Structure 1
Amino acid sequence: MDVDPTSDVPSPSPPRADRRAAESRTFLIADIRGYTRYTDEHGDEAAAALAAQFASLVEVVVHEHDGELVEVRGDETLNAFVSARQALRAAVAIQARLQREGLPRGVGIGLDSGEAVPLDTGYRGTALNVAARLCSRAKPGEILASDTTVRLAGRVEGLQYISQRTYRLKGLETPLRAILVEGEAQPTAHASPDWRSRLRTATPSQRLMGLAVILLAIGSLVILLSPRASPSRAEPSSTPRVSAVAPSPVILVNDVLGFRGGNDRTGTMPGPAPNASGGPLGIRWQFEADAGIAAPPAISQQQVYVGDRGGTLHVLEAATGRELWTYDVGSAMATTPTIDGSQAYLTTQGGKLQVLELATHKAGWSLVGVIPTALAVDDNVAYVGMGTGNLIAVSSASGSAVWQAKLASTPHYVAIDRTTVYVTTSATGDLYAVNRSSGRIRWHASLPSASVVAPAIAGLSLLVVVHGAGGRDQVVSIGATSGEEAWTWTSPEAGALSTLMVTEDHVFVTSAASEGAVLWAIDRYKGDLAFPRFGQARVLSASAVDETVFLTLADKTVRAVDARDQDGIELWKVSVGQAVGEPIVTGGTVFVVARAGESDPARLVAIGVVQSGKYSGPDPWKHVTDLVAGDKQRALYLNVALDAHGKVYAADRILSRIVIWGRDGKPQIWGHFGGDPGEFNFGGVTAGDQSQSVAIAADGRIAVGDGGNHRVQIFDANESEIHPGNRPRGASA
Structure 2
Amino acid sequence: MTRVLFPAVLAAAALCPAPGAADWPVFRGDPLMTGTGTAKLPDALEERWTFKAKDAVEAAPAVVGDTVYLASLDKHLYAVELATGKEKWKVKLGAMKAAPAVRGDRVFVGNLDGKFFCLNATDGSKVWEFETAGEIMSGANFHGSNVLVGSHDSTLYCLNANGKKVWDVKTDGPVNGSPAVIGDVTFVAGCDSVLHILDAKTGKELGSVDLGGQAAATAAIADNVAYVGTMANTLVAVDVKKKEKLWSFEAPVRQQPFYASAAAGELIVAGSRDKKLYGLDPKTGKKVWEFATKGQVDASPVVVGGKVYGGCLSDDGEFYVLDLKTGKKVQELALDAAVCGSPAVGPDCLIVGTDKGVVYCLGKK
TM superposition shift of 1:271? 2.3
Name the counterpart of 1:154. none
Distance 1:457 1:506, change over 3 A: same
Assess if the C-alpha contact under 8 Å between 1:371 and 1:385 holds in 2: no
DSSP-derived class of the 2:109 partner: strand
1:605 aligned to 2:364? no
- Could you tell me how far apart the structure 1 residues matched to 2:21 and 2:240 are? 31
Which residue identity is paired with 2:241?
T
- Could you tell me how far apart the structure 2 residues matched to 1:463 and 1:603 are? 30
The match for 1:271 among 36, 39, 42 is 39
- Could you tell me how far apart the structure 2 residues matched to 1:511 and 1:328 are? 33
- Could you tell me how far apart the structure 2 residues matched to 1:592 and 1:522 are? 24
Distance 1:296 1:502, change over 3 A: closer
- Counterparts of 1:55-66 in structure 2 under 5 Å? none
Distance 1:389 1:575, change over 3 A: closer
TM superposition shift of 1:253? 8.3
Name the counterpart of 2:54. 290
1:528 aligned to 2:290? no
Q: Which runs of 5+ in 1 are unaligned?
A: 1-82, 85-111, 115-126, 131-145, 148-166, 169-173, 181-251, 596-600, 611-733
1:494 aligned to 2:254? yes
- Counterparts of 1:10-409 in structure 2 under 5 Å? 84=2, 113=4, 130=7, 168=11, 174=12, 254-276=22-44, 281-293=45-57, 295-329=59-93, 331-359=94-122, 361-369=124-132, 371-374=135-138, 375-396=140-161, 398-409=162-173
- Could you tell me how far apart the structure 2 residues matched to 1:178 and 1:338 are? 14
Assess if the C-alpha contact under 8 Å between 1:510 and 1:519 holds in 2: yes
Alignment deviations for residues 302-335 of structure 1 (CA, whole Å, 9 cap, x no partner): 2011123332221111011111122232x22232
- Could you tell me how far apart the structure 1 residues matched to 2:288 and 2:51 are? 39
DSSP-derived class of the 1:499 partner: coil
TM superposition shift of 1:409? 3.6
DSSP-derived class of the 2:289 partner: strand
Scaled by the length of structure 1, the TM-score of the pair is 0.45
- Could you tell me how far apart the structure 2 residues matched to 1:484 and 1:530 are? 23
Name the counterpart of 2:206. 442
Which residue identity is paired with 1:608?
G
- Could you tell me how far apart the structure 2 residues matched to 1:412 and 1:292 are? 19
Distance 1:499 1:253, change over 3 A: same
DSSP-derived class of the 2:28 partner: helix
Assess if the C-alpha contact under 8 Å between 1:409 and 1:425 holds in 2: yes
- Could you tell me how far apart the structure 2 residues matched to 1:540 and 1:384 are? 21
Assess if the C-alpha contact under 8 Å between 2:63 and 2:345 holds in 1: no
Distance 1:350 1:550, change over 3 A: same
Q: Which runs of 5+ in 2 are unaligned?
A: none
The match for 2:351 among 591, 605, 627 is 591
TM superposition shift of 1:339? 0.9
- Could you tell me how far apart the structure 2 residues matched to 1:273 and 1:455 are? 25
DSSP-derived class of the 1:290 partner: coil
Assess if the C-alpha contact under 8 Å between 1:306 and 1:313 holds in 2: yes
Which residue identity is paired with 2:325?
R
TM superposition shift of 1:535? 4.4
TM superposition shift of 1:377? 2.6
Which residue identity is paired with 1:531?
W
1:476 aligned to 2:231? no
Assess if the C-alpha contact under 8 Å between 2:16 and 2:144 holds in 1: no
Name the counterpart of 1:460. 224
- Could you tell me how far apart the structure 2 residues matched to 1:386 and 1:594 are? 24
Distance 1:409 1:594, change over 3 A: closer
Q: Name the structure where helix makes up a greater proportion of residues.
A: 1
Distance 1:334 1:466, change over 3 A: closer
- Counterparts of 1:666-705 in structure 2 under 5 Å? none
Distance 1:253 1:282, change over 3 A: farther
Assess if the C-alpha contact under 8 Å between 2:34 and 2:265 holds in 1: no
- Could you tell me how far apart the structure 2 residues matched to 1:273 and 1:501 are? 20
- Could you tell me how far apart the structure 2 residues matched to 1:387 and 1:536 are? 31
The match for 2:318 among 540, 546, 557 is 557
Name the counterpart of 2:182. 417
Name the counterpart of 1:571. 330
Question: Between Structure 1 and Structure 2, whose CA radius of gyration is higher?
Answer: 1
Which residue identity is paired with 2:27?
F
Distance 1:385 1:113, change over 3 A: closer
- Could you tell me how far apart the structure 1 residues matched to 2:151 and 2:297 are? 31
TM superposition shift of 1:528? 1.8
TM superposition shift of 1:382? 1.1
Which residue identity is paired with 2:322?
V
Which residue identity is paired with 1:275?
D
Assess if the C-alpha contact under 8 Å between 2:309 and 2:319 holds in 1: yes
DSSP-derived class of the 2:147 partner: strand
TM superposition shift of 1:492? 0.8
Distance 1:504 1:296, change over 3 A: closer
Distance 1:176 1:477, change over 3 A: farther
Name the counterpart of 1:504. 265
- Could you tell me how far apart the structure 2 residues matched to 1:563 and 1:360 are? 39
Which residue identity is paired with 1:564?
K
DSSP-derived class of the 1:582 partner: coil
Assess if the C-alpha contact under 8 Å between 2:344 and 2:351 holds in 1: yes
Alignment deviations for residues 220-266 of structure 1 (CA, whole Å, 9 cap, x no partner): xxxxxxxxxxxxxxxxxxxxxxxxxxxxxxxx984133313333222
Paired residue total: 356
Distance 1:387 1:552, change over 3 A: closer
TM superposition shift of 1:285? 1.0
- Could you tell me how far apart the structure 1 residues matched to 2:228 and 2:68 are? 29
CA-atom RMSD, angstroms?
A: 2.8
DSSP-derived class of the 1:581 partner: coil
The match for 2:193 among 429, 436, 449 is 429
Which residue identity is paired with 1:518?
K
- Could you tell me how far apart the structure 1 residues matched to 2:250 and 2:53 are? 41
Distance 1:503 1:332, change over 3 A: closer
Distance 1:520 1:286, change over 3 A: same
- Could you tell me how far apart the structure 2 residues matched to 1:359 and 1:307 are? 16
- Could you tell me how far apart the structure 1 residues matched to 2:341 and 2:130 are? 25
Assess if the C-alpha contact under 8 Å between 1:266 and 1:500 holds in 2: no
Alignment deviations for residues 134-169 of structure 1 (CA, whole Å, 9 cap, x no partner): xxxxxxxxxxxx97xxxxxxxxxxxxxxxxxxx54x
> Which structure has the higher relative contact order (CA within 8 Å, separation 6+)?
2
TM superposition shift of 1:386? 4.3
Alignment deviations for residues 510-537 of structure 1 (CA, whole Å, 9 cap, x no partner): 2343xxx422221101222223233455
- Could you tell me how far apart the structure 1 residues matched to 2:157 and 2:295 are? 41
- Could you tell me how far apart the structure 2 residues matched to 1:292 and 1:510 are? 20
State the percentage of identical aligned residues.
19
Assess if the C-alpha contact under 8 Å between 2:15 and 2:145 holds in 1: no
